[in-house]
Structure 1
Amino acid sequence: MRYARSVLSTAALAALTVGTTAALTAPASAAPNTTPQKVCGSAYKTVNSVPVGTLGTVYLTYNAANGKNCVATIRNNPGTAVEMSAWVGVPETDEYDDDYGRFTSYAGPTYVYGKGHCVDWGGHINNHYVHVSGSNCGALKEHRVTFTR
């Protein structure tokens, strides 16, 4: 009986160690089928978006409770890590945030306080880039640029 309990304890500890190691080594952006709200937070509502070619979408979200904008770039098909970015800025206040790197599913979240201000935002996946300036300013017309390098 004592031997059986020892074997079960060892097996349980091994399983826990493997599970913990897997959880700690998985990249933060490995979640497939994610949404801007999963990346930025449930209080953030999508207010604008731009496709990044056929690879994914850059989302601009806004939280009315705290006045912050958040940007996330989300791939359509998560997989091997590729170069990605998400960024957002408020030219009027010089506030800027970005997230650049190699990600499997999404880049971001990036946050700025944007209440009452126009925002510039964008992102990229591989060599496909999106840049939106003068966005979400009421009656002003935003300017969108998409390009491939």
Structure 2
Amino acid sequence: MRFSRSVLAASALAALSVGTATALASPASAAPNTTPQKVCGSAYKTVNSAAVGSLGTVYLTYNAANGLNCVATIRNNPGTALDMSAWAYVPDTEEGAQDDGRFTSYAGPARVYGKGHCVDWGGSIDTVYVQVYGSNCGALKEHRVTFTR
């Protein structure tokens, strides 16, 4: 009986040690710490998105109340500042907006009025770039380009 208690106590101590070590260890990868709605505003609904390689996602959002599109590029793993961008352009009106620089988590917002117009948009993280042309044009098919520099 005494042996069983010792084994149980040792097992419990080992489990506690593993649990403590796991709780204190830094995560292998941090989760994104924001959303497109936190970047653009709660009234903006995501209408399109594109992966930026394995580094993150660029989102096109739209606010039906004011007709504005907003683009945000969000990293999968926030951390050290990297070159990032988010941009939007409406060819019909030649209106454009961009946000670029060195960021730890996201780039944006980049807002343009787009109600009733096709929108070109995209973003980048580090050396991976995504461009989407002719987006949200009803029956027209958009064109996506991803490349690395």
Give the TM-score normalised by the residue count of structure 2.
0.79
Tell me the alpha carbon deviations over residues 12-66 of structure 1, each in whole angstroms, 9 at most, x when there is no partner: xxxxxxxxxxxxxxxxxxxx52000000000000000000000000000000000
Identity within the alignment, %: 81
The reply on whether 1:134 has 2:134 as its aligned counterpart is: yes
* 1:50 matches 2:50: yes
For 2:71, the equivalent position in structure 1 comes to 71
Please tell me the root mean square deviation across aligned C-alpha atoms, in Å. 1.1
Give the AA of the match of 2:120. Answer: D
Give the residue type in structure 2 aligned to 1:96.
Answer: G
Correspondence for 1:94:
94
- Secondary structure (helix, strand or coil) at the match of 1:59 reads strand
- Give the Cα–Cα distance (whole angstroms) in 2 for the partners of residues 140 and 68 of structure 1: 20
Letter in 1 for 2:73: T
Distance 1:128 1:62 in 2: 24
Report whether the alignment pairs 1:84 with 2:84.
yes
Inter-partner Cα distance in structure 1 for 2:50 and 2:99? 17
Cα offset, 1:130, TM superposition: 0.1
For residues 1-149 of structure 1, what are the structure 2 equivalents within 5 Å?
32-149=32-149
Aligned AA for 1:111? R
Q: Structure 1 segments of 4 or more deviating over 2 A?
A: none
1:15 paired residue number: none
Matched letter for residue 132 of structure 2: V
Q: Distance in 2 between matches of 1:89 and 1:63?
A: 16
Q: Which runs of 5+ in 2 are unaligned?
A: 1-31
Instruction: Give the secondary structure class of the aligned counterpart of 2:37.
Output: helix
Counterpart AA for 1:64: A
